[in-house]
Structure 1
Amino acid sequence: MSEVGERVRAALPAVALLTLATAAVLGLSTLLGIAPAPPVWQLVLTLVAGLLLGVAATDQVRAALTDWQGATAAESGTHRRARRGAAPVPPHMPQTDEPERLEKPRPPRPARPSWPRIGIIALIVAGLVALLWVPQVPVHGVATAIFTFVVGYAAYALPVLPLLLLWPLPRLPRATWPWQLPLVPFVDRRLWTGAELRDLTVATLQYLRERVLTRTTGIALAVLGLLHLVRGNPSLLDGGASRAGGLIGWLLAEPLRLVFSAGGAIGLLGGILVGAAAVIAASVGRAWGTVTGYAVLAVAVAVPLLGVGAGHWLGFEYYLRTERGKVVVVAGLSPTHRQAVHDTAVPVDGLSPSLLALLDKGLQVTGNADGDRIARALADPSQAAADLFVGDQFELKAGECFDWIGGSSQLRYVTPCNAAHIGEVTYVGHLPFLTDPGRDAVDAAAKAVCEQSYGAYLGVPYGQSFLPLEKPMLPPGWSARPVIACSVGAVGPWTLKGSKTVAALQQKVPWGAATGCKVEVPDALRVTAEQPNTRCVAPGPEQRLAVQGGGFAMDLEFAAIGKTAGGAKIGAACLDGADLGNGYTFEVGADGVIEIFKLTGGQPAKLAASAKPKNAGPPTTASTPLQVSCKPTADGGIELVAFSTGSRKAIAVDKTNPVTRLSPRLMLANAATGGVVMTAMIFNATLV
């Protein structure tokens, strides 16, 4: 047989072992749903890589096969019985009727390791046990964080690994790794020659081939890479890799995944694991018997693969998140890691801003069922309503109005809603937590529940009204399903329940006006145009709320602005909160006429005007009541209507590029002089 044929024949066992192991692990991962089947070209590339690994491991696998054959032959032996007519036994040989038994001698078992080696290994094991398994050790937390960052979950098995050094496995003859060559630039102060680089590279590859393909090192590295892959390729930055294969697993698996796909990378690492386990088992079987060898092979293959496979389904945390318009439960290693996704069937539409922010951050739950329950309760707080909130020496129910004792005191007492009060309870109910998610999560969930229940009580969804929620009332400490109370500040001597109130004069929101204007809220709301030719709007640009496609009805009353107002106009506006230069204004001039304007980029265009008032004083000398509305029409336009005393009425319908994002505002348009003051005694806007 030619030399090439001999080499091919010698490589066949290793090629068959590594290629078949790679294909088997790849197929198993695909069948179990751990990784999708790679495309055909990556599948072929993976099998070719397994074949090349087999070629590289030819000498090691051939030596292991020889060891295994020797162990089998030593255990079975060769029996020969004396045949009839055989040559007579020489006289000096003892006579016997027993058949002759010829056995190949068993190789000697490895010698017991030296006491210094045992002592050093014992010290290493004890140190790792103290650092990683004993929480009472002061540096346990730091050590665990460092080791898990480097090797992930394998850190918890590190104290066991040094025990494998007690009986080192035999190795094929090879030259010692040339440790002097890496020091050449420092010792000889020159760069490496081509021959030195070649020698260093060959020696390093031979060393790595032996360590990866024939030692427990290869099994350990394969496990780290497999942990990274089966646990969803976590990132280093969010801490997810520390609960998989760590930094080493990431460095090993990510390049393989990019080239061979996740399934192909799992197959290759599984093939390396099986190959290393087979070589180790053959060496053990040669020294300790084939039964021991089979046991070592089973343990070295089954334990890592079963443990890694279980890691695909177990050991994850669960978070409520949003995905594709639904609230979902994400199983992952961190809030941003997605290993498995469970749909709770709760839509994102209609959730409050704080609830969306809480879900964007990731709300931890105990599992899919717990996530379903919490998602439904947060989306619909009425499911968890309670009868009573018990505070410190006070009790409150939903729908009750209350006042303070001593102003800044935390003590509250119930008062009729048609009397003076500072707040109104909109919701009393349970937070849906059975286990403590942490104070930050409780506070955020309480705020989200109050916002979510806001619309059910007020008649206007949260985010479509200027009326702010007060800080939720929470019980001290932690208890399962804690009861909270939500409230809004008072806006007048009446109940807000179902009122659809969007804005009111007494609201506790920033009225802040634009430059050149000043807003004060003593007993009434007072707007001052400090400069001439200024359009003052309240609330100002700090309040950016605007309702898409919403309509409003406003009731207003203004005090007389004085005869020296210099042609100023008072009134209301429906403006885009994001850009107060766009929208519609209802302005009452010095002659009492109501005019309706459309603002586009701050430039007014008159749409309609009323007749002059009959038997009603102008705003310069008398108080002016005003009722206005702006609402969308069925054909896509905006209907604008304004009424006042003295038979004043103005109506317009805008169908030419109408402004559809609107919010209610007070307005003072100053014409000639600065210092004009508008006082609003009534301002109430409701959604229609």
Structure 2
Amino acid sequence: MSEAGRRVRAALPAVAVLVLATLATLGLSTLLGFAPLPPAWRLVLVLVLAVLLALAAADQVRAALTGWEGAAAAEWGTHRRPRRSLVTGDITQPQTFNRQRPSWARLVVAGTAFLALAALLWMSQVPGHAAALAAASFLFGYAAYALPVLPLLFAWPLPRLPREPWPWRILVVPVADRRLWRSSELTVLGVGTWHFLRERVLTRATGIAVALLGLLHLVRGNPHVADGGAARAGGLLGFLIAEPLCLALSAGGAIALLGGVLGVAAAVIAASVGRAWGTVTGYVALVLLVALPLGAVGAGHWYGFEYYLRTENGHVVVVAGLSPTHRQAVHDTDLAVDGLSPSLRQLFAEGLPVADYADGERIAKALAAPATAAADSYAGEQFDLKAGECFDWIGGSTQLRYVAQCNAAHVGEVTFVGHLPFTVDPGAKAVDTATRAMCEQSYGDYLGVPFGQSFLPLEKPLLPPGLDKAWHVRPVIACWLGSVGPWPLKGTKTVAALQQKSPWGPSGGCKIEVPDALRITAEQPNARCLAPGPEQRLTVPGAGFNIDLEFAAIGKTAGGARIGAGCFDGADLANGYSFEVNADGLIEIYKHAGDQHARLAASAKPKNAAPPTTASTPLQVTCKPAADGGVELTAFSTGNRKATFVDKDHPFTSLSPRLLLTNGASPGVVMTTMIFSATRL
């Protein structure tokens, strides 16, 4: 046989072991759903790399299998006659194999390292345990818990092929000799490093450790290092091992190649064990060296994750991950994001920790539909409140005095009483956000208008006294609205009121005061004052409103001032419709589009009604979508004044109610509003 044929035949066992291990790992990974099957070209690349690694490890694998054959022959008595080697094809004489035992010094070093690492990483009572475990987890991830076992693997001496020691002295040439490296020295260093790494990674326990770290990183979803996720997978080393392979070969290809490295390293080690202690022991070692790492990695694909409620593709999902930003597996709760309140969306966007998939689905549905978690009453320190009841204060604003009649003076009105759906404490921030979210979700059920489509603000929810000090399962909370008058708000669809607590925030050149009534002052000539102003960007697409209001006389010196109300686009108050009473008492309807102001309609002159400059003026206006398209605009007042118009010429359909004051050349015009109430149609 030629020399080339001998080399090819000698490399066949290594190629067979590594390629078969790679294909077996690929099939197992795909079958169990660890990673999808890589594209065809990447699969070919994986197999090419496996063959190249096999060629690099051919000498070690051949020597290990030769030793294995000798051990098997000795056990079965075939040592009495010559036999042909299955590896090389040569006729070999029978040999007697002696057990190679580790030296006492090697055992002492390995045992000391095991005890030191076990004490630091396994025993919380040892000083420095937390810091050592944190550092080891950062570097090795979950493999840090198995780190003490590694010295025991190195305690067993494995046969080594003849090679030169690693030329470490070349590294110190610039310091020792004060010169740069020569090309020949760099070549020697590169070849020596290659031989060292080839032996350590492919035929030693180091190879098993490298494969384990890389596989842990891959099967646990390629977590990031910065957010701490890698510390619960393969650590920083696993990240550095797996990420380049994943980029080049895809996750499935990287898993397959690392599985091949694990297989060939385990085969070489098991052959050495079988040579020294018998083939049965070798088979046991092979099974353990392959099954334990793969079993740990396989379990890591399904277990050891935290669960978070998140949003994805318009749905609320429960994500299993290693950090709030990591996604390993996703469970759809069949709950749509549409219709969720801003606080609830924020809570899910940040990631709400839950116990598992079932717990996450239960919590999500309870937060989205608070009525399913309603409670009979909320118990304060000296009072009980029920949904729909009104109450008043005594002393400071933190002490409730009594339940009051809603059609009399009161401070607030309870809109919802229910349980927070948490069985374990999710943290103060999550409790506050979830409480706010449940109040926002129940807002529309009580008022008749969804949260975010009304100017009436939610007050700070009431939590059980002492909850921050002593957590208890499913605590009861209470949501409430501030009073806007001596009447109940339930089902009224109120979107604006004179006594609302949200800031009125007028535009430039205007001032607002809220004593007993609302006073709007146009401080500059030709000012246009809207209240609420641009700070309140509320706008409701396709909504209609009824607005009831009454103004006091603005004074004979008001000149060309106009008072009234309007339906404007909150995102851009330059667009919308206004209903204005002029100095002669006529009601005029205007359409505003930027700096364009077109009069659409006007009422007749008032009969037996004084103008707004000398008398109070009531006004009722409506803006709503018309049945045949467009926007229907209507205004009524005393004196048989009525103005109507249906705008079908590029109408504005995203609107919200506002108060309006415009003045002419006279600054300091004051509009006093005694009644202002807007409801959703």
1:579 aligns with 2:579: no
Could you tell me how far 1:445 is from its partner in structure 2? 0.6
Partner of 2:515: 522
1:588-607 to 2 correspondences below 5 Å: 588-607=581-600
1:72 aligns with 2:61: no
Decide which moves more: 334-343 or 70-79.
70-79
Q: Are the equivalent residues in 2 in contact too, given 1:599–1:605 (CA < 8 A)? A: yes
Partner of 1:227: 216
* SS at structure 2 position matched to 1:31: helix
* SS at structure 2 position matched to 1:678: strand
* SS at structure 2 position matched to 1:328: strand
1:191-270 to 2 correspondences below 5 Å: 191-270=180-259
Letter in 2 for 1:664: P
Could you tell me how far 1:105 is from its partner in structure 2? 5.5
Return the match for 1:458 from 442, 447, 450.
447
Q: Are the equivalent residues in 2 in contact too, given 1:610–1:650 (CA < 8 A)? A: yes
Partner of 1:23: 23
Return the match for 2:531 from 510, 525, 538.
538
Return the match for 1:566 from 548, 559, 574.
559
* SS at structure 1 position matched to 2:160: coil
Letter in 2 for 1:519: I
Decide which moves more: 650-659 or 211-220.
650-659
Letter in 2 for 1:130: A
TM-score (norm 2): 0.96
The verdict on how the C-alpha distance between 1:625 and 1:341 changes in structure 2, with shifts beyond 3 A counting, is same
1:419 aligns with 2:408: yes
The verdict on how the C-alpha distance between 1:19 and 1:512 changes in structure 2, with shifts beyond 3 A counting, is same
Q: Are the equivalent residues in 1 in contact too, given 2:556–2:614 (CA < 8 A)? A: yes
Partner of 1:354: 343
Could you tell me how far 1:559 is from its partner in structure 2? 0.7
Alignment: residue pair count: 666
CA distance in 2, matches of 1:165, 1:19: 26
CA distance in 2, matches of 1:106, 1:602: 104
The verdict on how the C-alpha distance between 1:677 and 1:223 changes in structure 2, with shifts beyond 3 A counting, is same
CA distance in 1, matches of 2:300, 2:584: 80
Could you tell me how far 1:54 is from its partner in structure 2? 0.8
Letter in 2 for 1:537: L
Could you tell me how far 1:109 is from its partner in structure 2? 2.3
Decide which moves more: 491-500 or 185-194.
185-194
Partner of 2:60: 60
Letter in 2 for 1:113: S
Q: Are the equivalent residues in 2 in contact too, given 1:503–1:686 (CA < 8 A)? A: yes
Partner of 1:134: 123
Letter in 2 for 1:362: G
Q: Are the equivalent residues in 2 in contact too, given 1:113–1:167 (CA < 8 A)? A: no
Q: Which runs of 5+ in 2 are unaligned?
A: 82-92
Could you tell me how far 1:119 is from its partner in structure 2? 4.1
Return the match for 1:550 from 537, 543, 550.
543
CA distance in 1, matches of 2:123, 2:628: 73
Decide which moves more: 650-659 or 419-428.
650-659
CA distance in 2, matches of 1:524, 1:112: 95
Q: Are the equivalent residues in 2 in contact too, given 1:77–1:104 (CA < 8 A)? A: no
Letter in 1 for 2:506: A
Partner of 1:670: 663
The verdict on how the C-alpha distance between 1:420 and 1:227 changes in structure 2, with shifts beyond 3 A counting, is same
Letter in 1 for 2:64: A
CA distance in 2, matches of 1:438, 1:79: 71
CA distance in 2, matches of 1:78, 1:265: 42
CA distance in 2, matches of 1:109, 1:452: 74
Partner of 2:87: none
* SS at structure 2 position matched to 1:189: coil
* SS at structure 2 position matched to 1:574: strand
* SS at structure 2 position matched to 1:199: helix
CA distance in 2, matches of 1:133, 1:497: 60
Return the match for 2:331 from 342, 345, 350.
342
1:141-160 to 2 correspondences below 5 Å: 141-160=130-149
Could you tell me how far 1:168 is from its partner in structure 2? 2.4
- CA distances 1:276-326 after superposition (whole Å, capped 9, x unpaired): 000000111111111111111010001101110111111111111111111
Partner of 1:488: 481
Could you tell me how far 1:80 is from its partner in structure 2? 6.8
- CA distances 1:148-167 after superposition (whole Å, capped 9, x unpaired): 11111101111221222322
Decide which moves more: 132-141 or 342-351.
132-141
* SS at structure 1 position matched to 2:557: coil
- CA distances 1:40-93 after superposition (whole Å, capped 9, x unpaired): 111111111111111111000000011101111222224879xxxxxxxxxxxx
* SS at structure 2 position matched to 1:291: helix
Return the match for 1:108 from 98, 114, 127.
98
Could you tell me how far 1:118 is from its partner in structure 2? 4.0
Partner of 2:153: 164
The runs of at least 4 consecutive aligned structure 1 residues that moved more than 6 Å come to: none
1:382-401 to 2 correspondences below 5 Å: 382-401=371-390
Q: Which runs of 5+ in 1 are unaligned?
A: 82-102
Cα RMSD, aligned residues only: 1.5
Could you tell me how far 1:628 is from its partner in structure 2? 0.5
CA distance in 2, matches of 1:79, 1:522: 110
* SS at structure 2 position matched to 1:674: coil
Q: Are the equivalent residues in 1 in contact too, given 2:391–2:400 (CA < 8 A)? A: no
Q: Are the equivalent residues in 2 in contact too, given 1:152–1:246 (CA < 8 A)? A: yes
TM-score (norm 1): 0.95
Could you tell me how far 1:541 is from its partner in structure 2? 1.1
The verdict on how the C-alpha distance between 1:26 and 1:149 changes in structure 2, with shifts beyond 3 A counting, is same
* SS at structure 2 position matched to 1:573: strand
The verdict on how the C-alpha distance between 1:138 and 1:676 changes in structure 2, with shifts beyond 3 A counting, is farther
Could you tell me how far 1:197 is from its partner in structure 2? 1.5
The verdict on how the C-alpha distance between 1:515 and 1:80 changes in structure 2, with shifts beyond 3 A counting, is closer
* SS at structure 2 position matched to 1:473: coil
Partner of 1:48: 48
Return the match for 2:166 from 166, 177, 183.
177
Partner of 2:89: none
CA distance in 2, matches of 1:112, 1:17: 28
Letter in 2 for 1:61: V
Partner of 2:267: 278
CA distance in 1, matches of 2:610, 2:225: 74
Letter in 1 for 2:3: E
Letter in 2 for 1:524: A
Could you tell me how far 1:447 is from its partner in structure 2? 0.4
Could you tell me how far 1:349 is from its partner in structure 2? 1.1
The verdict on how the C-alpha distance between 1:397 and 1:298 changes in structure 2, with shifts beyond 3 A counting, is same
- CA distances 1:585-618 after superposition (whole Å, capped 9, x unpaired): 1111111111111111143211111111111111
Partner of 1:288: 277
* SS at structure 1 position matched to 2:371: helix
The verdict on how the C-alpha distance between 1:163 and 1:633 changes in structure 2, with shifts beyond 3 A counting, is same
Letter in 1 for 2:294: L
* SS at structure 1 position matched to 2:363: helix
Q: Are the equivalent residues in 1 in contact too, given 2:102–2:157 (CA < 8 A)? A: no
The verdict on how the C-alpha distance between 1:653 and 1:186 changes in structure 2, with shifts beyond 3 A counting, is farther
Partner of 2:423: 434
Partner of 1:302: 291
1:471-482 to 2 correspondences below 5 Å: 471-475=460-464, 476-477=466-467, 478-482=471-475
1:504 aligns with 2:497: yes
1:634 aligns with 2:634: no
1:683 aligns with 2:672: no
* SS at structure 2 position matched to 1:158: helix
Decide which moves more: 180-189 or 347-356.
180-189
Decide which moves more: 11-20 or 601-610.
601-610
The verdict on how the C-alpha distance between 1:312 and 1:533 changes in structure 2, with shifts beyond 3 A counting, is same
The percent of aligned pairs where both chains have the same amino acid is 70
